Amino acid sequence: MLSNFLSYIVQGTGVTIAVTLIALPFGLLIGLLLALLYNYGNRWVARSAGIYSLLMRGVPPIVLLFILYFILSGRLINLSPFWAGSLSLGLVSSAYQMEILRGALAAVGAGQMTAARAIGLTRLQAIRYVILPQAIRLAIPPWSNEASIVLKDSSLVYALGVPEILRRAQQLSATTGQPFLAFGAAALIYFCLVFLTNRALDYLAEKTKLPTQPV
């Protein structure tokens, strides 16, 4: 009976991973776009991006999740709790990812843009071929932090009725009366996931490091 239960929690791992794999890239896409707009857009565009980030980061993720859920899963757009939860989590994360990328873009010296323009690249080309490849590399270590936060925050989607690891641990705790076992198993799974994610991204950062890049 116990092994059945543990496998029940492990099945939730798939849901947790799926939510994270949707939320992270979705947040990255929006975050990158906003970071570029913030750094290179005209002042109104930049200001809007700044306000977006301010609002999204100023509200606890769970509150945003509920608000976005009721918009994304309303009458106009009707997504399942799984998709609504994953995309909402991605939107929450996009503001943080924007800040990470904004910092990374700024960390590539302003002289690079001037130099790129001087050899005849347009602004877009300079961003695409000179600035961005360096900025993305710089962003990997802080981004790995965000990746583990999103992975752990994926437990919030339970509030919308998506049965991931945490919820399954709660049910198991309620049925067996062994909370330590149930939550211990959940903690172990989360830890392994976060550990593996961070290790993989460390490896990626090391592999893609430029010779010019400080350690």
Partner 1 sequence: MKRLWLWFSLVLVLSLLLASCGQNAGGSRLKAIQQAGVIKVGTSADYPPFEFVDANGNTTGFDVELMNEIGKRLGVKVEWVDMPFDSLIAGVQEGKIDAAIAAFNYSEDRDKVVDFSDVYYTSEDAFTVVEGSSLTINDPAQDLLSLKLGVQTGTTQDDWLTALVDEGKLPADNLARYDRVDQIALDLKNGRIDVMMSDAVPAEALAKQLGGLKVIYKGVLSSGPMNIVLPEGEADLAKAINEILAQLKAEGFIENLAIKYFAE
Interface residue list for partner 1 (CB under 8 A): 1, 4-5, 7-8, 11, 47-48, 51-52, 55, 67, 70-71, 73-76, 81, 158-161, 163, 167-168, 170-177, 179
For residue 92, the minimal CB distance to partner 1 (Å) is 14
Q: What is the dihedral of CA 122, 125, 129, 130, to 10 degrees?
A: 40
Distances (CA, A) of 147 to 70, 94, 108, 162, 170: 25, 11, 22, 20, 24
Cβ pair 119, 169 in contact under 8 A:
no
Task: CB nearer to partner 1: give 109 or 184.
Answer: 184
Burial of 149 from C-beta contacts in 10 A (0-12 / 13-18 / 19+): middle
Task: CB nearer to partner 1: give 171 or 198.
Answer: 171
For residue 191, the minimal CB distance to partner 1 (Å) is 23
Task: CB nearer to partner 1: give 81 or 142.
Answer: 81
Task: CB nearer to partner 1: give 8 or 83.
Answer: 8
For residue 8, the minimal CB distance to partner 1 (Å) is 4
Sign of CA dihedral 43, 45, 49, 51: positive
Provide the token pair at 148: 């583990």
For residue 144, the minimal CB distance to partner 1 (Å) is 31
Task: CB nearer to partner 1: give 51 or 210.
Answer: 51
Residue 142 CA to residue 58 CA, distance in Å, equals: 20
For residue 28, the minimal CB distance to partner 1 (Å) is 23
